[in-house]
Structure 1
Amino acid sequence: MARTAPAFGFASLAALAFAAPPAVAEEGMWTFDGFPAEQVRKEYGWAPDQAWLNRVQAAAVRLTGGCSASFVSPQGLILTNQHCVATCLADLSTAKDDVLAKGFVAERREVERKCPGQQAEVVTKIADVTAEVKAAFAGQTGAALTKARDAKIAELEKAGCPDAATTRCQVVSLFGGGQYKLYTYRKYSDVRMVWAPEARASTFGGDPDNFNFPRFAMDASFLRAYENGKPVATPRHLKWSPRAPKEGEITFVVGNPGSTSRLWTQSQLAFEREVALPTTLAIQSELRGRLIRAMDKSPEKAREAIDTLNGLENSLKVTIGRTRALNDPAFTRTLAEREAELRAKSAGNAAIGDPWSEVDAAVKFNRSIYLARRFTQPSGDLYGYATSLVFAAIEREKPNSERLPGFTDSALPLLEKRILDERPIYPWLDELIMSWSLSKAREYLGPDDPDAKLLLGKDSPEALAERLVAGTRLADPGVRRQLWEGGLAAIRASTDPMIQYALRLEPRQRAIRQAFDAQYVAPLALAGAKLADARFAAYGDSVYPDATFTLRISYGRVQGWEERGRKVPFQTTLGGTFDRATGAEPFDLPTAFEANRARIDKTATYNFVTTNDIIGGNSGSPVIDRSGAVIGAAFDGNIHSLGGNYGYDGSLNRTVVVSSDAVQEALETIYPAPALVRELRGR
């Protein structure tokens, strides 16, 4: 939550539902069309009505960088976290003007600056397309199943959004294939930076404080959506309420949680614990060491890589937390008992059969192909451009219904934007990341493995990365545009070494993907539908799907917790920053805090915690009170929330929020933005 995990070129694992008992207390990342109003009313004596939900949904924003946000003024003003826009700030920074380090305040709209690759999206419609998708692959298995399913999804997405310039359609699988929903988004492809505090204000406490509480972080920022060069009119926005939270009050978090694995089977959890997490932990740790060593060589390298390091350290901490959770006997026993309960409730139901065994067989295949899937995808921005250009050129030659997911007509506009938007590339950093990924491939696959030989030939990882990065021209957006517009003919005619390298790897990557789809994805689609049926039969509709980076709402309350016999308070104050500061990184005071020490209202609530159920991707989500007003932005979870990927514990899991009370003080006193203050007040 403190930061979304960077991909570094490695594919993520597919998810599948296994079924858990109905949610209790404040557990659940609920879809808007499945909000448990009666459950909330029973707990709090009040629940939002449909008008409240509709109003909030219309103001909720998804940022394509992997975060959430909300409209908070009629002029397209967007509230999110500073860490959600840190990459934008880094892209806008130079050696002479480091806006990531010093912060950014647009005194007038003419100087608001465009964020490369960013897009803001608002859900306008959710349609159930389960029957259409399931009918498309009925009676199919293996590769034929995934081909038929993907073709139908591509058809539905294209038909749902004929105006690709302003809308985006996305079919999402819920409950492991039990349901399919078509989400329609109004998209805004011109998103500009408005206000952000200096980096140290957001990252105060650094990695030691990440996923911990008490916290003292100004992790807030404002963007603005534009269209045709003008701010977007957003009459349906949330009211800004700069007040302190009240202990025990009900809160709602509205956002787009990235992914959870609460509904995995025991065999999937075993694979995660025994294979995926240990591998990830080892290679992330090594990359962190390589980055720190390189950054120590010069202030300029430190500036250029700090955003990458921050993201990596967050990902590493997530990996460590999940590893601990899946090695906790009490926690894993609870997960096993839940699966056993569903099996018992489903026993004798011929229509359901034994989908758990089907999942076991698919996971067994995944174990055999995992290393090849993971390590035949080198890392680095320049290689990322190359492989995207190569696959896009090949797929665009095909009819829409026959393309790979991610390259259909509905997906291409965002892919094109990400490839063509101008942003800085640092060759030394790209070379470091690429050589690291290639060295890990050789280590895990073995030097005699055919895939390792395909990746490296007779080169060392370091020599190959150096040659490809030094020789490519893909850092130039003009070159990327020529290749994009020139299509497959331009790609094949290109002498760019990175393009040629991506072309060399493409057949093997495609073959691995086809095998994975046929022997893992397809069986899980069938088993997932059966498991969903079992789940609904056992527990009715009082269940929620795993997170899928689609719009969700959770409810909770402002409340601390007890840690090793000690009560953890529900809030901190701005004044606590000065008490916590040591003068040494990462507990050195932000420059503006020191400069305005005498003027800052030290009693203002800074960060606070709630029992809301969230996960990565919820970063930037508005925290909303009963009236529907914004009282903060979620930016993290406590250390216990890392196990929330697999299960929720209401006595310990907490959402960490930056208070609107503190953000208002920052806007007025610490990083003054008078025009923004007036806008938030509706003037």
Structure 2
Amino acid sequence: MKICRALRASTAFAAILALPLSAARADEGMWTFDSFPAAKMRADYGWAPDQVWLDKVRAAAVRLTGGCSASFVSDAGLILTNHHCVATCIEQNSTADANILKTGFTARTREEEKKCAGQQAELVTSIRDVSEQVKQAIGTQAGEAAIKARSAILASLESSGCPDTARTRCQVVSLYGGGQYKLYTYRKFSDVRLVWAPEAQAAQFGGDPDNFNFPRYSMDASFLRAYEDGKAVATPNHLEWSARAPIDGEATFVVGNPGSTQRLLTSEQLAFQRELALPITLTIFSELRGRLIAAMDSSPEKAREGAETLGGIENSLKVYIGRVKALGDPAFTGRLAAAEADLKRRSAGNAAIGNPWADIAGAVRAYRDFYVADRFSLPSGELFNYAVTLVRAADERAKPNAERLPGYSDSALPLVEKRLLDAKPIHPWLDQLMMEWSLSKAREYLGADDPQTRLMLGMESPEGLAERLVSGTRLADPSVRKALWEGGAAAIAASTDPMIVYARSIDANDRDLQKRYDELVDAPLTSAQAKLADARFAAFGDTIYPDATFTLRISYGRVQGWTERGQKVPTRTALGGTFDRATGAEPFDLPAAFVKHQARIDKKAAYNFVTTNDIIGGNSGSPVIDRSGKVIGAAFDGNIHSLGGNYGYDATLNRTVVVSTDAIQEALEKIYPAPHLVAELRR
């Protein structure tokens, strides 16, 4: 089941959040590198980094296309990130006889490093403002014509910006909801390999009960390596490793790619989330969790194969529960409404912006009419995703670049092809479960007699259709996918593979929904949000930052705890606390290597710590950097209050949770020994 095309749900708790429509305050802000608020930080901290410092750390910041952040930490392409960011790669390389997800993994030589299917590491090399080109191309056009014009100019800018698609990738990103457009150029590395990972239990100690909480005792760190032409990439512009404990009050920087925030939504958009999108999401994901747990309980092999999927679902559920709680709190939503009213007051008399709030309200009303159909138009599952990608790519690749659907332009196709053709294990039972679940939810929410339900199911049940398609398809074989990709439209049209046939049968309906969305929702929203951006700039100048867009940002803060129920929360935990917290039962059972090496471990070593940095999902794996530009940790979570980060930032409660380099070094030396990595980090 796909996520809705826009109006993504947002996260918040009823904390005393900074008003999200006003200028940034305290340590708030996920700033673009070309607009870092040096003067503001200097006023708050008495110091701020200069351009040389910013350029240096930017040159080492990595985006992982799996949805995480990372950094180069050696001159030979070594990448620091989180364990949960590479857990899928670890699971792909695990078997029943060699379950490295459970036991951990250390490559003793470069030859032992294991490829991560579908993964790509990207490094920003330039950022260029292309707002005028995009806005001129759209001109006065409206509806679907405006969206087509925008797609065409974006495809043109990306194609001309990166003629070498083997080594570079270009992406035009919309900021401030359409107020700005910037062309990001990336140096990409399509061969990424696993180097080191602790046991899953070390990274996930405390499981769901500890998730989004602190104190924490988590070794959520791993190392990858970037390769090119079969050789490790030379990365002279890397961060220097500093294996030390954090210092209370010291300045910290998080450099990474926050995925998405919705701090600029209007009251109508918030109501849409509260009344329609979030209740559906919470209900169906709760059911999916139950279905998956029941299936995993049926065999040890399914328990192993479904573990990472279950972890992702449970993580999402915790976020959705926080969102529902936030948007149900009158005090919190009242503060958001007050901020919106303040912007309206400041914008009164500004004829140039008109009434964007009314335009947004109209687009939201239009989407309410077909949101359910849009949300449930495609089923879930790896195999179906392969099928619909092949069907669409065959059609889109035959068109001129400027006329293709977003995601299938010349600049995007290399990553599409990589993800499609990279070999990785497919678990048919899991694919069937996901497809059954999503098809059953489509029938439940649309109704059995709805034309879309009849199109998707015909005379079959969700269970029967999923079983027939998954058992009959050959798309788990990468050579079959490769032949269909290379064969293009003719091969797709001639294919009798049941999953391809099914994808062909429902593709047109989803495309029609896309056209409807473009015409009635995306175009008016983009136009209105661009006017709101103008209103905010007029009211607050350059003191506002754009919502997160999974592009490179920097936030500043400090090592600092908070007060919880009248008690001060410390800034850090120690490795020895793991043993004190262990109960012997999941999820608080000790990792085997911790037990084995208990006598050797420095139990006073700093383990996890918290900072006031402003982050969100997508920042996982981001390096936490000190004033000298050295890496002292990797961000891997937020505290429970930071679930409000999608809507706003509260400096008194929101905290980033970090795994310390002090603990990672201890693990590399004593718990999961890797002396060659220790030496590499010291070079």
**Using the alignment, how far apart are the partners of 1:389 and 1:54 within structure 2?**
40
- 640-649 or 472-481, larger mean C-alpha shift: 640-649
What is residue 5 of structure 1 aligned with on the other side?
Answer: none
What is residue 623 of structure 2 aligned with on the other side?
Answer: 622
* Deviations 1:143-186 (CA, angstroms, capped at 9, x unpaired): 10000010000000000000000000000000010000000000
Counterpart of 2:454, as a letter, is: K
2:20–2:336: 8 Å Cα contact kept in structure 1? no
**Using the alignment, how far apart are the partners of 1:436 and 1:14 within structure 2?**
23
The within-5 A match list for 1:550-589 is 550-589=551-590
What is residue 631 of structure 1 aligned with on the other side?
Answer: 632
The within-5 A match list for 1:628-667 is 628-667=629-668
Shift in alpha-carbon separation, 1:411–1:655, aligned structure 2, 3 A = same
* Deviations 1:477-527 (CA, angstroms, capped at 9, x unpaired): 000000000001100100000000000011000000010011111001111
What is residue 4 of structure 1 aligned with on the other side?
Answer: none
* 1:13 aligns to 2:6 (yes or no): yes
2:9–2:273: 8 Å Cα contact kept in structure 1? no
What is residue 99 of structure 2 aligned with on the other side?
Answer: 98
What is residue 269 of structure 2 aligned with on the other side?
Answer: 268
Alignment partner of 2:455: what SS? helix
What is residue 141 of structure 1 aligned with on the other side?
Answer: 142
What is residue 319 of structure 1 aligned with on the other side?
Answer: 320
**Using the alignment, how far apart are the partners of 1:77 and 1:53 within structure 2?**
21
2:7–2:269: 8 Å Cα contact kept in structure 1? no
**Using the alignment, how far apart are the partners of 1:571 and 1:52 within structure 2?**
27
What is residue 72 of structure 1 aligned with on the other side?
Answer: 73
**Using the alignment, how far apart are the partners of 1:69 and 1:499 within structure 2?**
36
Q: CA deviation at 1:329?
A: 2.1
Unaligned runs of 5+ in 1: 1-7
Runs of 4+ with >3 A deviation = 14-19
Shift in alpha-carbon separation, 1:102–1:225, aligned structure 2, 3 A = same
Counterpart of 2:152, as a letter, is: A
Q: CA deviation at 1:324?
A: 1.3
Alignment partner of 1:83: what SS? helix
What is residue 298 of structure 2 aligned with on the other side?
Answer: 297
* Deviations 1:68-106 (CA, angstroms, capped at 9, x unpaired): 000000000000000000000011111111111111100
Alignment partner of 1:165: what SS? coil
Q: CA deviation at 1:9?
A: 3.2
**Using the alignment, how far apart are the partners of 1:380 and 1:39 within structure 2?**
47
Q: CA deviation at 1:332?
A: 1.4
**Using the alignment, how far apart are the partners of 1:243 and 1:164 within structure 2?**
40
The within-5 A match list for 1:583-622 is 583-622=584-623
Q: CA deviation at 1:377?
A: 1.3
What is residue 401 of structure 2 aligned with on the other side?
Answer: 400
What is residue 378 of structure 2 aligned with on the other side?
Answer: 377
What is residue 227 of structure 2 aligned with on the other side?
Answer: 226
**Using the alignment, how far apart are the partners of 1:267 and 1:618 within structure 2?**
28
Counterpart of 1:11, as a letter, is: C
* Deviations 1:117-162 (CA, angstroms, capped at 9, x unpaired): 0000000000000000000011100010000010000000000000
Tell me the TM-score normalized by structure 1.
0.98
1:16–1:176: 8 Å Cα contact kept in structure 2? no
What is residue 492 of structure 1 aligned with on the other side?
Answer: 493
1:116–1:423: 8 Å Cα contact kept in structure 2? yes
The within-5 A match list for 1:95-244 is 95-244=96-245
**Using the alignment, how far apart are the partners of 1:648 and 1:518 within structure 2?**
34
* Deviations 1:423-480 (CA, angstroms, capped at 9, x unpaired): 0001111001100000000001110111111110111100000000000000000000
Alignment partner of 2:324: what SS? helix
**Using the alignment, how far apart are the partners of 1:286 and 1:627 within structure 2?**
48
* Deviations 1:602-642 (CA, angstroms, capped at 9, x unpaired): 00000000000000000000000000000000000011111
Counterpart of 2:2, as a letter, is: G
Counterpart of 1:573, as a letter, is: A
- 643-652 or 200-209, larger mean C-alpha shift: 643-652
1:381–1:430: 8 Å Cα contact kept in structure 2? yes
What is residue 363 of structure 2 aligned with on the other side?
Answer: 362
**Using the alignment, how far apart are the partners of 2:324 and 2:390 within structure 1?**
36
**Using the alignment, how far apart are the partners of 1:58 and 1:155 within structure 2?**
26
**Using the alignment, how far apart are the partners of 2:300 and 2:112 within structure 1?**
28
1:601–1:665: 8 Å Cα contact kept in structure 2? yes
Counterpart of 1:427, as a letter, is: P
Counterpart of 2:248, as a letter, is: E
**Using the alignment, how far apart are the partners of 2:190 and 2:2 within structure 1?**
24
Counterpart of 1:13, as a letter, is: A
* 1:540 aligns to 2:553 (yes or no): no
Q: CA deviation at 1:15?
A: 6.3
The sequence identity of aligned pairs, in percent, is: 70
Alignment partner of 1:389: what SS? helix
Shift in alpha-carbon separation, 1:675–1:656, aligned structure 2, 3 A = same
Alignment partner of 2:370: what SS? helix
**Using the alignment, how far apart are the partners of 2:7 and 2:233 within structure 1?**
36
* Deviations 1:231-276 (CA, angstroms, capped at 9, x unpaired): 0000000000000000111100000000000011110011011111
1:439–1:461: 8 Å Cα contact kept in structure 2? yes
Counterpart of 1:9, as a letter, is: K
Counterpart of 1:62, as a letter, is: R
Q: CA deviation at 1:16?
A: 12
Shift in alpha-carbon separation, 1:16–1:124, aligned structure 2, 3 A = farther
* Deviations 1:654-683 (CA, angstroms, capped at 9, x unpaired): 10000000000000000000000000000x
* Deviations 1:43-78 (CA, angstroms, capped at 9, x unpaired): 110000000000000000000000000000000000
**Using the alignment, how far apart are the partners of 1:263 and 1:48 within structure 2?**
28
Q: Report how many residues are paired.
A: 675
2:622–2:634: 8 Å Cα contact kept in structure 1? yes
Counterpart of 2:336, as a letter, is: L
Counterpart of 1:279, as a letter, is: I
Counterpart of 1:370, as a letter, is: Y
**Using the alignment, how far apart are the partners of 2:500 and 2:525 within structure 1?**
34
CA RMSD of aligned residues (A): 1.1
Q: CA deviation at 1:337?
A: 1.0
Alignment partner of 2:220: what SS? coil
Tell me the TM-score normalized by structure 2.
0.98
Unaligned runs of 5+ in 2: 11-18
**Using the alignment, how far apart are the partners of 2:417 and 2:3 within structure 1?**
21
1:72–1:79: 8 Å Cα contact kept in structure 2? yes
**Using the alignment, how far apart are the partners of 2:549 and 2:5 within structure 1?**
13
2:4–2:371: 8 Å Cα contact kept in structure 1? no
Q: CA deviation at 1:643?
A: 1.3
1:9–1:379: 8 Å Cα contact kept in structure 2? yes
Alignment partner of 1:253: what SS? strand
**Using the alignment, how far apart are the partners of 1:593 and 1:432 within structure 2?**
35
Alignment partner of 1:273: what SS? helix
1:80–1:621: 8 Å Cα contact kept in structure 2? yes
2:258–2:618: 8 Å Cα contact kept in structure 1? yes
Shift in alpha-carbon separation, 1:83–1:215, aligned structure 2, 3 A = same
What is residue 3 of structure 1 aligned with on the other side?
Answer: none
What is residue 451 of structure 1 aligned with on the other side?
Answer: 452
- 328-337 or 30-39, larger mean C-alpha shift: 328-337
1:250–1:626: 8 Å Cα contact kept in structure 2? yes
**Using the alignment, how far apart are the partners of 1:498 and 1:555 within structure 2?**
48
**Using the alignment, how far apart are the partners of 1:489 and 1:317 within structure 2?**
45
**Using the alignment, how far apart are the partners of 2:415 and 2:516 within structure 1?**
27
